[in-house]
A and B are shown apart, each in its own frame.
Chain A
Amino acid sequence: MSTQNTNADVLLQIDNLESYYGPIMAIRGVSLKVHEGQIVTVLGANGAGKTTLLKTISGVMDPEKGTVKMQGEEIQSLEPDAIVRRGIVHVPEGREIFPLMTVAENIAMGAYTRKDRSTISVDEDMVYSYFPILKDRRTQRAGTLSGGQQQMLAIGRGLMSNPKLMLLDEPSLGLSPLLTQEIFEIIVRLNKEQKVTMMLVEQNAKVALDAADYGYVMELGRIVMNDQADVLAASKDIQEFYLGVSQDENQRGQRRWKQRKTWR
């Protein structure tokens, strides 16, 4: 069995989480674990509940049932700022930057929960060393950056809170394949060099599984599969439904492009 089942060095543990948008149940009893130092990816189609899961962890949404434990302590009822102070930062989908503030001000806002000026400026240099383009643009308004640069800014800003766990929501959204690759290389480097544990939500299963150690597959608010990333990448279902590798053709000689398998 996988290492995911041991309880040593669990950073984040979620048990039977249920979240609603009004009357609509978006998360239907999700349990998962993120170990320290890992990159864990959550795959799934549109509307599977991936973003809701991250929002519930970061405290922007409150769960109806279930627990979220960070280093053994329950955090599901805390306000978002208290959760950031515990070392979880959410890098949202669609690069939610502060458009009218400069790049440098955006980055400074990432360190809002911290007071120690000297270590903040060390981390600023660290962020600029990973994203040199941001250093060139530091006095520019963030809203005028390109999409890829905005994504870099969002990640860099997230790093400024000195997180133990970074929740990355669709970092590849709207980016060219080349930029996606560049961003993911930096994500892997941050994980290795800065020891930031990553929880990565993606629709682009190929890049996500390449980068990740462990993967969960979500569908309609439930976890339907989980395994080591390389095992998942090799599994037939994942190959067919998420990686687009075509399987045998059926009796009529047509590709099964229409039938989507669900696990319910």
Chain B
Amino acid sequence: MDFLQLIISGLANGCVYGLIALGFVLIYKATEAVNFAQGDFMMLGAFVCIGFTNHEYMGLDFWVAVPLSILVMGVFGYLFNWGILRHMFGQSQTSIVILTIAMGFIIRFFAGFFWSHEPTSLETPFAGQDIRSGGLVLGIDEVMIVVVTAILTLLFYLFFSRSRIGLAMQAASQNQLAAYYMGIPVKRIHSLVWGLSGMVAAVAGILFASKGAIDPSTGLLGIKAFAAAAIGGFGSLPGALLGGLIIGLVEPLASRYGPPGVSQIAPYAILLLILIFRPGGIFSQTQRKKV
């Protein structure tokens, strides 16, 4: 029972990591840039939702606030690319990386200034409730996280395999030049991908903040999600989720059964092992061009 409970809470954590990793991979695949502010996007999404929902701020109904904050973060991601990053087109990768890191700092300051530097919890209608069956006690928030992530994964799958925009995003990431030649507006597609990853970040943030308290520095766990993305094979969406789940599961198991301190290094140890034995990640998608 103890073990099963650990697994469930690990899965719940892993889903959050996985969703942040998904944001990393989306942007990397489409634009070949790495958004080091992805964790801070997640944190901002959480605070936006807290701002809409919690009674000391606007006190909106939770079910109104959630879609609203996802939308706000989508627009934020879109505008970030449209207004700032797009003008860096053609600059070196390093300057884009530094820009996103700087953006992370700005978001952290901003969140602390507008909301609070103290850990804050999202007021959800299901806070504190749990499901009991047999000797198993599951927090409804943890179950919720797993279910929402599963639904989101399905939606993503349908979006990328069925919809016109989703296919165009795939096309633009596989061969940008050919996408231009086919009349796909690649620049707008890039902004839409940033919007999409902002939305994913908002979902991850809302899930995180409904499970426990969040403060502006929580965004730094984006580093762990980055490791998750690398484990899954940077560039594979299912890989990102899987990498997140692996890290999420390893942490509680290592802290329960391992010697003290192991749980902090376990995710990076796994990353190291993957990079040594399977450098492309679990789902590596490298493909050589035929001549």
Contact = CB atoms under 8 A, between A and B. Distances in A.
Contact of B181 (A79, A89, A174): A89
Among A58, A80, A146, A174, the one with the most B-chain Cβ atoms within 10 Å of its Cβ is A80
Contacts of A92: 177-178, 181
B160 to A, nearest CB: 10
Interface string B162-181: 00100110110011011111
Nearest to B161: A105
A151 to B, nearest CB: 11
Contacts of B177: 60, 92, 96
Interface residues of B, number: 21
Name, among B175, B182, B183, B184, the residue most crowded by chain A CB atoms within 10 Å (CB to CB).
Answer: B183
B287 A109 contact: no
Contact of A81 (B171, B185, B289, B290): B185
B268 to A, nearest CB: 30
A150 interface: yes
Contact of B291 (A110, A157, A174): A174
Given A60-B181, A109-B184, A113-B183, A97 B291 contact: no
Contact of A109 (B171, B185, B289, B291): B171
Contacts of A229: none
Contacts of B291: 94, 147, 174
A59 B170 CA distance: 22
A101 interface: yes
22 contacts: A58-B181, A60-B181, A80-B181, A80-B183, A81-B183, A83-B183, A84-B182, A85-B183, A89-B182, A96-B175, A96-B177, A96-B178, A98-B179, A99-B287, A109-B179, A109-B184, A112-B182, A112-B183, A143-B290, A147-B290, A150-B290, A161-B183
B285 interface: yes
A59 B183 CA distance: 10
A100 interface: yes
Nearest to A80: B180
A110 B182 contact: yes
Given A112-B168, A143-B287, A147-B290, A97 B178 contact: yes
A33 interface: no
Interface size bracket, A side: 35 or more
B285 to A, nearest CB: 7
Nearest to B181: A90
B182 A97 contact: no
Interface in A68-119: 79-81, 83-85, 89-92, 94-101, 105, 108-110, 112-113
A83 B289 CA distance: 27
A144 B177 CA distance: 20
Contact of A97 (B168, B175, B183, B185): B175
Interface in B258-291: 285, 287, 289-291
Contacts of A81: 180, 183-185
Interface of B: 164, 167-168, 170-171, 174-175, 177-185, 285, 287, 289-291
A105 B164 CA distance: 10
Given A108-B167, A143-B290, A147-B290, A79 B182 contact: no
A98 B290 CA distance: 12
B175 A99 contact: yes
A97 B182 CA distance: 10
A161 to B, nearest CB: 6
Nearest to A106: B171
Given A60-B180, A150-B290, A100 B185 contact: no
Contacts of A98: 170-171, 174-175, 178-179
A102 to B, nearest CB: 10
A84 B167 contact: no
- Max chain B Cβ within 10 angstroms of own Cβ: one of A89, A92, A94, A99: A99
A20 to B, nearest CB: 15
Contacts of B183: 80-81, 83-85, 89, 112-113, 161
A21 to B, nearest CB: 13
A109 B186 CA distance: 13
The 10 tightest CB contacts between A and B, nearest first, are A84-B183, A96-B178, A113-B183, A81-B183, A80-B180, A90-B181, A81-B185, A98-B174, A98-B171, A109-B171
B169 to A, nearest CB: 11
Nearest to A92: B181
A59 B291 CA distance: 25
Contacts of B171: 98, 101, 109
A91 B180 CA distance: 11
A110 B167 CA distance: 11
